[in-house]
Every structure is written in C-alpha cells, then in structure tokens.
Amino acid sequence: MTRLPARTAAARGSVASRLRSQIEAAEAEGAAREDMVLKLTHSDVSHLKRDSSLAVTDISFAAGVMRFLGVRIEEGGVQASSLDPV
C-alpha cells in the first residue's frame, strides 16, 4: 500500500479560500446564499475564526448563528466539511 504525503494547509489553500470558491460556484448555479448551509468540522471552524486574512465582514455571529460570507455554519458532526446548497 502506497501512502500519499500529508497535505499541508498551504498546499491545499486556506479553509476560507476553499469555502469561498464553493459558495461562489453554488451561487453561479443559481443557489442563494441564505439557502446554503456550510457543515464544517470543528477544525475548519477554528481555522476560519483564526484566519487573520479575512475581512471583519466575512464572518458574523448573530442570534447564536455563525455565518461565513452570509452562509449559515453548522459546526461539528461531520468528518469532512461540505456545502449544502439546499
């Protein structure tokens, strides 16, 4: 069995840039951001919260809900992060 080298965060890009691309692609296909849900791992949420390259307006916390670029985030309960365009 051949093992693939571990991918570093730099090699795969930031969590924010990956999610931004997914959101923009879904939006281009006709999905509205208010209808999308990001189901993220605890690790990906942590990376988003600590990403100093993000604008203050990219992440919001209101009424107990975290949003990235206007898309609601559900944290945990998944092994891999995903965007559900609902």
* Residues facing residue 83 across a β-bridge: 38
Q: For residue 26, is pLDDT > 50?
A: yes
Q: Are 46 and 8 in contact (CB under 8 A)?
A: no
Tell me phi and psi for residue 32, to 5 degrees. Answer: -95, 140
Query: Is 21 a domain residue?
Result: no
Domain count, the chain: 1
Give the span between the Cα atoms of 22 and 74, in whole angstroms: 16
Number of Cβ within 10 Å of residue 74's Cβ equals 14
Query: Is 6 a domain residue?
Result: no
- Structural domain boundaries enclosing 79: 34-86
Query: Is 68 a domain residue?
Result: yes
Structure confidence at residue 86 (pLDDT): 75
Give the span between the Cα atoms of 55 and 23, in whole angstroms: 17
Query: Is 72 a domain residue?
Result: yes
Q: Residue 10 — pLDDT band, cuts 50, 70, 90?
A: very low
